[in-house]
A and B are shown apart, each in its own frame.
Chain A
């Protein structure tokens, strides 16, 4: 049965690779669809420089560093704000409308303003990435805090807890699983934002930039290899978030 499961999971991606390779053989143009071996060649030597645009590995690390900074900044702002909004109705009333209106604006639409305010460089990147991660973290923190069981709060309040203690002993740990889910979703969006931001004029490094750079030189196999690396890194980090979630928040499965 277990092998059945594995076959089911692998059948589609393997089929996809086969079709890709067949199409590549038919099309016979590296500029439209590079064949598997060409892409594998790029993937298997991640440390080698791509025509002066830096290596796959170096650029991936740069992108990761950027997304890490932006994500961290977003978390540091969104979690406390979400706590305040979830816990105190006046704060929620004051901010919720504005936030609901700002949220649908795609982070990339902020690029012109980001560049005007922060100039081309790391700061404007962090701004764009942070915007992507900010809203999911904020909203799930708020919902998590609002969903804390009243009896937990009251039981601890009965033992003489003040607001600070309630926050640290009950609200934060009780909302942590939902905050974590928001961070996971936020990271996914931030990762998409970093690659997109790196494709914009003015960027000169990162995976997004490498893809555009390689495209300019007609190196489509590098473009595809870069896309695969972006996908795999996103997948890996998502799995990491999930694994930690299962480990830390197992108690949640027993709560209705």
Chain B
């Protein structure tokens, strides 16, 4: 698998007819087994970039290539984990996880069997018949990871997937993501607000500048795994990124 972003730019139309440049000249390559974390100040277009990679939004300039083919619409080759779990609340967990397989034409029983495998992988094998609202936030997010994995995507996109979780659950699920990534061998591109999360998970950190988002720094993170969140290398990197982010942040509203 090879993801290549070539000069991605995005403008948003404004009410007065003008345009706002949100992203500009983003070029990036992601290879097999890489975990790339995108960091940046609020409103720098991180989520927009992820949505462009997913094929959910069109880029204004440039192109996204997945194994040499242009990404223009959503495809099962790319999985997406949303900030909020986005499970269908009227379906049980197993039905939520099955849905992609069934749409692909897999028979119900076979789809269920396969879905159970992935539920096992994320530790939800005991609750297949519960509804999403009966599970905790962490479990719901695990279920949406399982749902995305059933499609066996080559690339997994995550949009601040754990930001709504409490710190402990968050740590646990981060570790699980690493385990899953090793087992299933995916590349991951994730957007996060948390420098800790980025450092713990990723092989590469991309820091975007404030609007318009441009890549202002790419860092290879070659810390040994399992990574110690208090380890010297970890803290050193963290300091560096934090000071970089502080320099980039403008005194603007909190979220964007």
C-alpha spacing A169/B79, complex, angstroms = 18
> Could you tell me if B86 and A155 are in contact, using CB atoms closer than 8 angstroms?
yes
Residues of chain B lying within 8 A (CB to CB) of residue A119: none
Per the 8 Å Cβ criterion, residues 117-146 of B in contact with A are 131-133, 144
> Could you tell me if B82 and A151 are in contact, using CB atoms closer than 8 angstroms?
yes
- Cβ contacts A149-171/B at 8 Å (1 or 0 each): 10110111111110001000110
B19 at the binding interface (Cβ < 8 Å): no
> Could you tell me if B151 and A159 are in contact, using CB atoms closer than 8 angstroms?
yes
A160-B103, A254-B133 given; A151·B75 CB < 8 A: no
> Could you tell me if A154 and B89 are in contact, using CB atoms closer than 8 angstroms?
no
> Could you tell me if A251 and B89 are in contact, using CB atoms closer than 8 angstroms?
yes
- Cβ contacts B15-34/A at 8 Å (1 or 0 each): 00000000000000000000
> Could you tell me if B99 and A169 are in contact, using CB atoms closer than 8 angstroms?
yes
A255 at the binding interface (Cβ < 8 Å): yes
A165-B103, A169-B103 given; A158·B131 CB < 8 A: no
For B56, B84, B86, B133, which residue has the most chain A Cβ atoms within 10 angstroms? B86
C-alpha spacing A174/B86, complex, angstroms = 12
Contact of B88 (CB < 8 Å), options: A154, A157, A170: A170
B3 CB, min distance to chain A CBs, angstroms: 15
A134 CB, min distance to chain B CBs, angstroms: 26
B74 at the binding interface (Cβ < 8 Å): yes
C-alpha spacing A111/B88, complex, angstroms = 44
B54 at the binding interface (Cβ < 8 Å): yes
Per the 8 Å Cβ criterion, residues 122-181 of A in contact with B are 149, 151-152, 154-161, 165, 169-170, 173-174, 176
B70 at the binding interface (Cβ < 8 Å): no
Residues of chain B lying within 8 A (CB to CB) of residue A156: 88, 99-100, 103
Contact of B89 (CB < 8 Å), options: A160, A161, A255: A255
Q: Please, which residue of chain A has its CB at the minimum distance from the CB of B82? A: A151
C-alpha spacing A252/B87, complex, angstroms = 13
Residues of chain B lying within 8 A (CB to CB) of residue A252: 89
> Could you tell me if B76 and A160 are in contact, using CB atoms closer than 8 angstroms?
yes
Q: Please, which residue of chain B has its CB at the minimum distance from the CB of A170? A: B88
Residues of chain B lying within 8 A (CB to CB) of residue A165: 103
B80 at the binding interface (Cβ < 8 Å): yes
> Could you tell me if B133 and A158 are in contact, using CB atoms closer than 8 angstroms?
no
Measured as residues with beta carbon below 8 angstroms from the partner, the interface class of chain A is: 20 to 34
B104 at the binding interface (Cβ < 8 Å): yes
C-alpha spacing A252/B88, complex, angstroms = 11
> Could you tell me if B86 and A154 are in contact, using CB atoms closer than 8 angstroms?
yes
C-alpha spacing A1/B82, complex, angstroms = 46
B4 at the binding interface (Cβ < 8 Å): no
Residues of chain A lying within 8 A (CB to CB) of residue B131: 251, 254
Q: Please, which residue of chain B has its CB at the minimum distance from the CB of A166? A: B103
> Could you tell me if A160 and B88 are in contact, using CB atoms closer than 8 angstroms?
no
A152-B86, A254-B133 given; A161·B54 CB < 8 A: no
> Could you tell me if B103 and A161 are in contact, using CB atoms closer than 8 angstroms?
yes
Residues of chain B lying within 8 A (CB to CB) of residue A173: 88, 90
Chain B contact residues, CB within 8 Å of chain A:
54, 56, 74-76, 78-80, 82, 84, 86-90, 99-100, 103-104, 131-133, 144, 147-148, 151
19 A-B pairs with CB atoms under 8 Å apart are: A149-B86, A152-B86, A154-B74, A154-B82, A155-B87, A155-B144, A157-B56, A157-B74, A158-B74, A158-B79, A159-B100, A159-B103, A159-B147, A160-B100, A169-B99, A173-B88, A176-B90, A254-B89, A254-B133
Q: 18 new A-B pairs (CB below 8 Å) besides A158-B78, A158-B80, A160-B76?
A: A151-B82, A151-B84, A154-B80, A155-B82, A156-B99, A156-B103, A158-B74, A159-B103, A159-B104, A159-B147, A159-B151, A160-B74, A160-B75, A160-B151, A174-B88, A251-B89, A254-B132, A255-B89
What are the nearest 6 A-B pairs in CB distance? A159-B100, A254-B133, A151-B86, A155-B86, A160-B76, A251-B89
